[in-house]
Amino acid sequence: MEDFLIHALIAGLIVAIVCAPLGCFVVWKRMSYFGDSLAHSSLLGIALGLLLGTNISVTILIVASGFAVLLLWLQQQRLLATDTLLGILSHAALAVGLIMISLIDNQNIDIYSYLFGDILSVGKKDLIVISIGGALVLSLLYTFWERFTLIALNEELAQAEGVSVIKMNLLFTLLMSIVVAISIQIVGILLITSMLIIPAAAARQWAQSPQQMAFLSMLIAAIAVILGLGSSYFWDIPSGPAIVASASAVFSFSALTKSLTS
C-alpha cells in the first residue's frame, strides 16, 4: 500500500475515533448548529494562518476557541436566542475569512481542499499533530465523561450534584475546537459536523447506554472512513465527501435494519 494511503487511513481513523464520542454529546445536547457554526468560524482561522504564515491548525484552534468563549459569554448576557447568536457569529466569521483570503496575494491557495478536505495530502507532521490533538481530546473526555453525561441529561441535576456547568461547558467547547482544528484536512469545513452527528445518530438506534453509544459510534465512524477512502481510491472521487457519504449509507442501512427488526 502506498505511503500516502497509509497516512490517510491512520489520520482518518484517529479523527473518526475522536469525533464519534464527542458527537454523542452533540446529539444528546442538540448542538449540531453549534458544531456547524464552529466549523464555519475555522475559515477565519485558516485565513489568519495563511496571512501570518503560521501553523493553520494552531490559528484554527485559537479562533474556534475564541468563537466558542464569545458565544458562551453572549449566552450569559441573554441578549438574543442562542440560534440567532450562532447565525450572526458564524456568518460574520465566514464572511471575514473569505474577505481575508481574497486579499492574500497567493494564487496557490486551494480553497476547495479547506472546504471539503484533502485527506490524501496528510503527511507525517500532520499525523503527529492529529495524534496529539486526538489523544488530548480522548483523555479529557474519558476523565470528565460522567460530568459531561450528567450535564447532557439534566443541567439542573448536574448543578445540584456540585458540577460546575459553566466550566464543563467551556471545556467541552475547547474539545470541540480541537476536533475542528485536527479534522479540517480530513473532511473539510463543510463536512465536519456530519462526522460528528451521523455516526452518533446511527449508534443511538442500537445503544442501550451512553458508553455503548460512544463505542458503537466509533465503530461506525471507522467503517465510514475505510469505505470512503476505498471509494475515493478506486473511483477517483473526493475523499472527504466520500467518507461522509459512506457514513450516511451506514446510517441508512442501520435505520432500515432497525425498522425491519423492531
Contact between residue 52 and residue 66 where contact means Cβ atoms under 8 Å apart: no
pLDDT of residue 108: 67
Contact between residue 242 and residue 225 where contact means Cβ atoms under 8 Å apart: no
Distance CA 72, CA 166 (A): 9
pLDDT of residue 260: 85
Q: Is 60 domain-assigned?
A: yes
Distance CA 93, CA 71 (A): 12
pLDDT of residue 203: 94
Range of the domain at 140: 3-189
Q: Is 14 domain-assigned?
A: yes
Question: Can you give the three-state secondary structure of 215-255, one letter per residue?
Answer: HHHHHHHHHHHHHHHHHHHHHCCCHHHHHHHHHHHHHHHHH
Q: Is 159 domain-assigned?
A: yes
Which of the residues in the chain have pLDDT under 50?
Answer: none
Q: Is 242 domain-assigned?
A: no
Q: Is 196 domain-assigned?
A: no
Q: Is 245 domain-assigned?
A: no
**Number of domains observed in the structure of the chain:** 1
The CATH number of the domain where 8 resides is what?
1.10.3470.10
Q: Is 26 domain-assigned?
A: yes
CB count within 10 Å of CB 143 equals: 11
- Judged by phi (left if over 0) then psi (alpha if -120 to 50, else beta), residue 78 lies in left
Distance CA 243, CA 201 (A): 16
pLDDT of residue 106: 64
Q: Is 256 domain-assigned?
A: no
pLDDT of residue 216: 95
Helix axes 145-153, 124-143, angle to 10 degrees: 70
What is the C-alpha R_g of the chain?
A: 18
pLDDT of residue 115: 82
pLDDT of residue 126: 86
Nearest CA to 109 out of 64, 61, 62, 43 is that of 43
